[in-house]
Each structure stands twice: as structure tokens, then as C-alpha cells.
Structure 1
Amino acid sequence: MHFSRMILQLLKSRRRPCQGLWDASRLSLRVLPTEIDIFGHVNNGMYFSIMDLGRLDMMVRSGVWKTLQSKGWSGVVSAETISFRKSLRLGHRYDIDTRLIGVDGRTVFFEHRIVVDDEIFARAYVGTRLTAKSGTITRDDMIEVFGAPPEDLELPDWLIEWSRNNSLPSRRQPAPHDWR
């Protein structure tokens, strides 16, 4: 179901007003029956799938989506964390507020907020990497294509530390499984 919802959102986003890459975006949605669990609220894992829609909408409306396709680049989530305050229930209307909060050497960081009546129900930070057949796209590649981030935009120290502490070894390095 999620794939079809992403395709539908892709089509809808193409008709929405353009926006700047560094501008916060808002996408209004309603909780669907396929998004709730046996307790009657949005499943915790579903929040990240819903937030994918916010990033997709932002990328399409800013022109990034078209550029990624023309260059053969794609995005992949490398890390994410979420905190919850209140539950979304079936039929709830809510907004996904999304903003790009910075770029380090290889990672593009987003903040997502699930908002109901101007109140935050959940907030997540998502690190993504752009990839191509040749490998990971660097910060310099991104800046060349999309322009530099605003000068006053600085990644919070805690987010840099979180990214460093939660990353796994590169796929070219061993990552043995051992509970010890």
C-alpha cells in the first residue's frame, strides 16, 4: 500500500506550488486504515513511511526530484530517530512539516514533525545519502548541483554526534555480528 501512496503523492506534489529547497514544507494528510495497528493508532514504524511522503513532496516541489532523476541519483536513508508525544488515530487529520536542516560530508539531514492543530505529536530526524551507480554523492557534488546551504544554517552539534555514534561501518568494511 505504501508504494501506491507514494506514487499518488508524487502525482499530487507535481500540481502543488513550487517552493525553495531550504524552505519548510507542509503536507496535510489523514490517517488511513492501513496505517493503524491493533491498538487503533498509527503504528510506530509507519511514521517513518509517512515522513517519506513529506520528503518526497519537498523534493518534487523544489525541483530536486527532477534533478535526481536526470542525474541517475537516488536517496537512501542512512539513520533516523523519532520521539512521540501523542498518538494519531484512524481518520485524524494532521500535517507533516518537513525542513532540510543541513548537510555534512555525505549526509543530508531533515527534520519532520507530525502536527495536529499546531501541536507536535511526533518529531523525527532523518539522515539521507544521495547515491549513484558510482557510489555516494559528496557534499561538493550536492552543492554544485543544488547550491550551497544558507550561511546561517548550521547543523546542531548533537546531531553530528548522533550521526557519528549511530553509524555502522561502510558496506566495504566488515560489520560482524557479536552480542558480547
Structure 2
Amino acid sequence: MNIHLRMAKVFMAAFLRRKSSVNALEAFVVDMRVWPMDLDFNLHKNNGRYLSCMDVGRMDMAFRAGLHRPMFKYKWMPLLGSSTIRYFKSLGPFQKFQLVTRIAGWDEKWLFMEQKFVSRGHVYAVGAVKVLFRGADGNVPTKTLMHYAGIDDESPVLPQWIVDWHTADQALGKHIPKQ
């Protein structure tokens, strides 16, 4: 299924879903399937399609957590700062899987998320992303963002592997020449 159709499905489900309170720190699950256009020459899910599916999972989470309201009202744009993914197994043609998205934690600038691809009780890939939201006045503080998601607590302690990845990502960013 084309990524635009997957995103349209998320948007339609969000508007048709009954309003309910959710805990934005819980896992959000989207059921998906590997379609022929997701395949590469090895006849398994293309690595780029994993990242596109992760976009869909994050938008689903934003809608379910109620972040779409301030996003539309204040014209906030979610921006991906960095991502990493580790593949364990190949997802094959027509295989059903679940994309499990959860907020791992945040700092004053970044919202860190973990996203897992799970099928038949096995983890096929795990990714992490850092996201911020930007509005007309600049970056939206994560404290403001989390307030709209119904969370006024401090961030959970980030898993060490995400801390290590973020540290390495920041080091990489220092080596990129400023244009």
C-alpha cells in the first residue's frame, strides 16, 4: 500500500475515532502489511519503507495523543532531527506486522521515540527518532508539547541505548560543515 494511503487511513481513523483519554506514554500500535510496492529486489520490505512506516506511526500517535489540535491551531510542524534503525529479521511479501510507537522520553528540545516492528510475537526491527515541533515563533518547548498530550510530569529516564545514540548523533552533527 502506498505510504500516502497508509497516512490517509491514519487521518480518517483519527477523525472517526471516539474521543477518549489516552496516556501518551503508552505504546501506540498500528496494524500494517507488507505490500508488493514495499519490496526490494530481495523480495523483502525495503529499508526505506520501514522509515516511511515509522512516519505513519508517529502521526498516528500524535493524533491519538491529541497533538493534532494544537498542530493545526498553531501551525506546528513535526520535524525529524535524526533516526536510527536496527534490522533483525526480514518482513516478507504480504506479511502482517504491528508498528509499536512509544515516547521514550524528552529533553528541553527533543522528543525521543522508540518504534518496533513486530510480527508473530517477534521483533523484526527497532528504530529510534528524535523529533521537535516548530511553529511561527520557533521550536515548541517539549514541556508545552507534553502538556498538550496530557503529561505535566518530568521525562522518564531514557534507555541507555537512546542516550548513547543521541550522544553519537550530536558528535556527528559537530563534524558537518556549516553552510
Shorter-normalised TM-score: what interval? 0.7 to 0.9
Between the aligned partners of 1:87 and 1:16, the Cα distance in structure 2 is: 32
Count of matched residue pairs = 173
The structure 2 residue matched to 1:128, chosen from 111, 115, 131, is: 131
Tell me what 1:11 maps to: 12
Q: What CA RMSD, in Å, does the superposition of the two structures yield over aligned residues?
A: 2.2
Q: Is the 8 A contact 2:45 2:93 kept in 1?
A: yes
TM-superposed deviation, 1:15: 3.1
Q: How far apart are residue 80 of structure 1 and its match? A: 0.7
**2:37 aligned residue:** 34
> 8 Å contact 2:32–2:96 — kept in the other structure?
yes
User: Residue 132 of structure 2 aligns to which amino acid in structure 1?
Assistant: R
Q: Structure 1: which amino acid aligns with 2:111?
A: V
The residue type equivalent to 1:135 in the other structure is G
Gap runs ≥5 in structure 1 = none
Is contact 2:33–2:94 with CA below 8 Å preserved after alignment?
yes
Relative to structure 1, the CA distance from residue 135 to residue 33 in structure 2 (aligned partners, 3 Å threshold; closer, same or farther) is same
Q: Deviations over 1:78-103 (max 9, x none)?
A: 01111111111110000011111111
Residues 16-165 of structure 1 aligned to structure 2 (within 5 Å)? 16=17, 18=20, 19-148=22-151, 150=153, 153-165=156-168
Give structure 2 stretches of 5+ with no counterpart.
Answer: none
Give the SS at the match of 1:160.
helix
Alpha-carbon distance in structure 1 between the residues aligned to 2:155 and 2:6 = 35
What one-letter code is carried by the residue in structure 1 that aligns with 2:29? R
Distance 1:32 1:93 in 2: 9
Sequence identity percentage: 26
* CA separation of 1:110 and 1:131: change in aligned 2, threshold 3 A: same
Would the alpha carbon gap of residues 74 and 124 (structure 1) be closer, same or farther in structure 2, given more than 3 Å must change? Answer: same
Tell me, in whole angstroms, the C-alpha distance in 1 between the residues paired with 2:104 and 2:40. 31
Q: Please give the per-residue CA displacement for 1:144-173, whole angstroms capped at 9, x wherever unaligned.
A: 43344655721134423422331326xxx9
Matching residue's letter, 1:13: A
Residues 66 and 149, structure 2, Cα contact 8 Å, conserved in 1: no
> For 1:21-75, what per-residue CA distance to the aligned partner results, in whole angstroms no more than 9, with x for missing partners?
1111111111111211111111111101111111111111121122221121110
AA aligned opposite 1:9 = V
